[in-house]
Structure formats: C-alpha cells, structure tokens
Amino acid sequence: MRNGFGLAGLTAMVLAVAGISGCGGKDEAAAVPRPVWVVQPQAGGADGALAFPGEVHAREESPLSFRVGGKLVRRAVDAGARVAQGQVLAELDPADQALQAQAARAQLAAAEAELARSKGDLDRYAKLVDQQLVSRSTYDAQKAAYEAAAGQARAARAQWDVTRNQAGYTELRAPRAGVIASRQAEAGQVVAAGQTIFVLAADGGREIAIDLPEDRIRQFKVGDAAQVELWSAPGRRLPGTIREIAPAADAQTRSFAARVALDPAALGEVELGQSARVYLAQSAGDGSLHVPLSALQLGEDGAAATVWVVRAGKAQRVPVSAGTFGTESVPVSGALKSDDWVVAAGGHLLREGEPVAPVDRDNRPVAAARAAQPKAD
C-alpha cells in the first residue's frame, strides 16, 4: 500500500505540473505586445527641413591694419566697442615717419633749387645761341640738363607726397561704423605693415555661417529660403535666404561653406557670435517621403526595401523604393502614406501581423497608431 500510494502521489504531481505548464503556454501565447518606436514620414518642405548649426557673423568683416610698420603706442578701443566711421582706433610712434618726411622735404627743396638753376642757364644759352655765340649742340645739352632737373624735381615731389601720407598712416581709423569683433595687438608691440590689429564687423547685414554636407550640396542653391532659430530663443524662427555657397569643398571637412543672410527686419534680434540653427527645406519634386535610415529594412526576399508600419495595432510590412541615402534619412516611394506610423527602430525583430505597442521618442504611447487596435479578450 505504501508503494502504491507513493506511485499514485507521484502521478498526481506529474499531472499537476503538466496542467501548470499548459497554463503557462496559454499565457505565453497571449504575450504583451512588443513596444516599438514609431515616427511619421516627412515630406520635403518645412516639415522635412534639414537643420545645420551655425554662428552669426557680419556680412562685412574687415581685418584692419596699419599701412606702415612701427611701434604701437596707443590703443583707443577694445573688443566689443562700437566705433564711428573715421574714429581713431590706434596709433604708431610717429617719430620715424616724421623724420622720413623731413628728409623727403629737404630732397624736394634741393631738386627745386637745381631746377631753378638749370632754368636760368637754359634761358641764357637761348639768347647766346640766337646771337650765334654758342653752338646749337651746347644749347641742346643745356636743355637736356634742364629736363633732367625737372624730372628730378617731380620725383622728389612725389616722394614727399608719399612720406607725408605715410606720416598720416600712423593713425589707424575705422573705415566705416561697426563693432570691433576682435583685437589682435597690444600697446608696446612692434607691428609690421599689413599685420591685423583689429577685426571690424561693419553695421548692416548679418549672416549665419554654416557648412553644407557634400552628399546634399545639389539640393540647395543661392536664393533658397531658410529659417534661422537662435539657441537663445528656441522655437522662434527668423526668415532668411542662402546668399552664398562656396564653389569647392573644404579639404579637411569635405563640406561646403555657406552664408545665410537674415531678413533686414530681423537684424535687431541677433548679436554677433550667437549660435543658431538653420533650417533648409529638402527638395521634394518627386513627391517622395523621408523616413529615418534605421526604418529601412530588407524585404522577405532579402533584396527589395521595406518598412514596418503600425496599422490597427499590428506590424505590417510595406514595400518601398529607396532614393539617395542622406546623413539621417532616406527618401522612399511606394505604398507608404504620409499618415502612416513607421517603426523607426527594431524592425528586424518584428513579424508580419505581430501585435505591437507604438511609442514616441519620449516613450509615450502613440494613440493614433493604435486607434484601430482590437481590444484583448
């Protein structure tokens, strides 16, 4: 009896375990839908705009330098100072230039004196040759000497003008009104002619300097509309246009430098050096939709491109034709609709018809993607 009871008890335990296992299989069959991150495809235009970081610059930024070398004895302004046209910004020691001007003035006086002497001699020889007291060749020689003296006087006068101008070049003046963007020399420093002392950001136009990627450069052209969002004022976009695109890519970054000019009405809202984000609309002439690169998957045959979309709370494979790959997205065409919710990540783990729980980037449920999802029993 003892052995029989033990066998019966073991049999009951096996049946109980089998029943529990059966219940577990039923629970697994009714598994919780897999969470998936979904986004909606973007069309070209404002909604499909590409964003590029940039910095506010003046349209005209002039490096200012002295036209002569010397010792910098006074700096009248600092970086950030607003200056008026013609205002003195810095001065060189004028002693050397003054001495050169004096030397040139003395040379001019000597040349003019020689010219006056030659002119008197020429007049006397002219009278003598008329009286046939000197030969014509002697008169011609005196005339040549006079012309040489006149040339020397003109050269001395020009040299005097140059040195007089150079004496004035010891003062560095602002060519136009603006703001001193940077200072690159200090009082007491010996500077060479042409060495940058200040960089002047002239009043007037303001632009955003950006870099356009090599793979998208053909999508943009001068005159295209742009929107500028300052980092200090998120959510507010200022109108602008592409004014300039470099004809060649940078040798190191392989990107094309571009300038986006702000609308004149928005100039008062930006300051030099501010960080900004420039939005440029993508070309969408073929009516294609753009999806994230991570959303594109291989089809069941391992060749054709597809994307997973969430319809009625279930994953559904949609075949598409992919265009040129961008840095973050790719244009696609086919059965995909603009109001579809595309699985942006994890598509390689899905199966056709699998229940899913769509969420956005912040892990919040997307009710629109589950609107037609059947309720669980």
Query: CATH code at 180?
Result: 2.40.50.100
Q: Assess whether 114 and 155 both reside in one domain.
A: yes
- Between CA 240 and CA 225 the distance in angstroms is 6
356: domain range? 32-43+287-370
pLDDT digits (tens, 9 = 90+) for 114-157: 999 898 988 888 888 888 888 888 888 888 988 999 999 999 99
Give pLDDT tens digits for 176-196: 999 998 999 999 999 999 999
Whichever domain contains 119, its CATH number is 1.10.287.470
Where among 280, 296, 319 does a domain terminate? 280
Q: Which residues of 253-285 are buried (b: 16+ CB within 10 A; e: fewer)?
A: eebbbbbbbbeeebeeebeeebebbbbbbbbbe
Of 178, 201, 224, the residue at which a domain comes to its end is: 201
The H or E element spanning position 54 is: strand 50-58
Query: Would you say residue 353 lies in a domain?
Result: yes
Count of domains for the chain: 4
Q: Is residue 28 over pLDDT 50?
A: no
pTM for the full model?
0.53
